[in-house]
Amino acid sequence: MRLVNRTLEELRPGDVSELRRLVTADDLYVFAAASGNYNPMHLTDSDLDGDGHPERVAPGMFVASLISAVLGTQLPGAGTLYRRQVLDFHARAHAGEELVCRVEVQEKKSDGCVLLSTTVTRAGDGALILSGEAEVLAPSRKFDRDDIEVPGLIVQRHRHFEALLERAKPLPALPTAVVCPDEANSLGGALLAAKEGIIAPVLIGSAEAISRAAAEMGADLAGTQVVDVAGDAAAAAIACQMVHEGRVAAVMKGHLHTDDLLKPMLDKTAGLRDGRRFTHVFVMDVPGQPEPIFVTDAAINIAPDLATKVDICQNAIDLALSLGMDPRVGVLSAVETVNPAIQSSIDAALLSKMADRGQIRGGQVEGPLAMDNAIDMGAARTKGLRGGVAGRANILVVPGLDAGNMLAKQLSFMSHAEGAGLVLGARVPVILNSRSDSPMSRLASCAVAAIHHAAKGGKS
């Protein structure tokens, strides 16, 4: 960014400068965090007047801060210090509106102060939002630099999951077998999703343990079906049976080991096999990314061979299509060129060619790609990579479970992402949560399952 100021000597009455600024939802959160003003009227999800629409009102001092931006960067510019500011508010600005801040020099005083008129209007209709005047000490020394940098900010807000929840809520509640929800996290996640109308849970497991967990949470199980079954394996088998009977259209992991949940599902007779291998997808809402990022497979297939990776790709593509995404699969390796000594690079190249020949359908598949040039366009261009996936991948197929698990946890704990977990390849979506998952992750997992189920025509 280049900053050039106007010194006191250069200023003349009538000098004008303007700044245009689109007010975003993230602006409201940043201002709340910086100022400590948590008035719900200034946040995007609050409806204080009960009209069904969030107020999304931009704080008055946020609007006034646009004046400070013009004074400090344009007119007079760098070196300007405030003496006085008068503010009169005439209307309210909201997230999604573009504002125009205008500053005009009115008078140069003998003590080095400058008086300026200040206004903020709405770009669309010209409505006056704010008027007033500023008195500042103008800079006496010239400033002209083009190396001004300010660290960027990423708002830890999960707008992609919020959008998924909004899409899932109008759908019929998804009948879901919740297996062994006998502690607070697993039971709480199911009841929270039920409260939001996303699932209709059937709790399978020890009725005594489930009731005890509910009592510890202060939760009411009235109206919620509980199937009393002793043992994790038996509970998981009952869930499979209920799928076959058409009583549920999804399965959700409770407080049991993943292997115990999946084992009866893999049974050739009574299980839930549907022609493909079971694969796991993390749908990650990473702050700052323009859309969700899939990481697969990070929970089931430890060292997948080529045939398994085909199913990993296809299952993830099908899920992305269900969510309304344009699937762009980046098959990861340590390098972006084929190296005979690195099996993952060979598999990646084969998967890419198989997609070209129609053996993987519904999305673009490219590989091998290293992590940087899979998701960063600058890195992709530096390496001379072309095509529709490099730098824009939204599905990351990892070499094996260890790499996938590390990547997903790195996104969660270092990049502040939330992750929804789903097992695909079964007759119904299997919601896979961990004990460390947040309420948002649990809700999003249920939302993804509900949307995917609806996109398949509601069939199990």
Question: Residue 310: which H helix or E strand, with range?
Answer: helix 306-322
- pLDDT number for residue 459: 61
Residue 153 has pLDDT above 80, yes or no: no
Over residues 238-254, the mean pLDDT reads 95
Q: Could you tell me the pLDDT band of residue 25, with boundaries at 50, 70 and 90?
A: confident
Residue 458 has pLDDT above 80, yes or no: no
Residue 37 has pLDDT above 70, yes or no: yes
Tens of pLDDT, residue by residue over 74-119, are 999 999 999 999 999 999 999 889 999 999 999 999 888 999 999 9
- Burial classification of residue 222, based on how many CB atoms lie within 10 Å of its CB (0-12 exposed, 13-18 middle, 19 or more buried): exposed
- pLDDT number for residue 23: 92
Tell me 124's DSSP state. Answer: T
What is the number of structural domains in the chain? 2
Residue 45 has pLDDT above 70, yes or no: no
The pLDDT mean for the chain works out to 92
Does residue 327 lie in a domain region?
A: yes
Nearest Cα to 318, choosing from 451, 413, 185, 228? 451
Tens of pLDDT, residue by residue over 383-439, are 999 889 999 999 999 999 999 999 999 999 888 899 999 999 999 999 998 777 788
Residue 460 has pLDDT above 60, yes or no: no
Residue 286 has pLDDT above 70, yes or no: yes
Q: How far apart are CA 7 and CA 105, in angstroms?
A: 13
Tallying the residues shown for the chain, one arrives at 460
Does residue 264 lie in a domain region?
A: no
Does residue 381 lie in a domain region?
A: yes
Does residue 266 lie in a domain region?
A: no
Tens of pLDDT, residue by residue over 333-347, are 999 999 999 999 999
Specify the residue for token string 């529709």. Answer: 388
**Tokens describing residue 91:** 């209307």
Does residue 12 lie in a domain region?
A: yes
- pLDDT number for residue 105: 97
Picking from 87, 115, 145, the residue at the C-terminal end of a domain is 145
Q: How far apart are CA 175 and CA 243, in angstroms?
A: 10
Q: How far apart are CA 417 and CA 289, in angstroms?
A: 10
* Higher-pLDDT residue of 48, 174: 174
Would you call 341 helix, strand, or coil by DSSP? Answer: coil
Picking from 84, 118, 145, the residue at the C-terminal end of a domain is 145
* Largest Cα–Cα separation, the chain: 93
Q: Using N-to-C axis directions, what is the helix angle for 306-322 and 343-356, rounded to 10°?
A: 50
Q: Could you tell me the pLDDT band of residue 441, with boundaries at 50, 70 and 90?
A: confident
CATH of the domain at 364: 3.40.718.10
CATH of the domain at 117: 3.10.129.10
Tens of pLDDT, residue by residue over 308-357, are 999 999 999 999 999 999 999 999 999 999 999 999 999 999 999 999 99
Detail the DSSP E strand segments found in 398-458: 418-424, 430-431
- pLDDT number for residue 194: 93
Over residues 454-460, the mean pLDDT reads 76
**Tokens describing residue 157:** 């807000």
303 vs 10, 199, 400, 451, CA distance in Å? 70, 33, 5, 29
Residue type, 306: L
Enclosing domain of residue 130:
3-145
The DSSP annotation for 320-373 comes to HHHTT---EEEEE-SSSS--TT-HHHHHHHHHHHHHHTTSS-SSEEEEEE-HHH
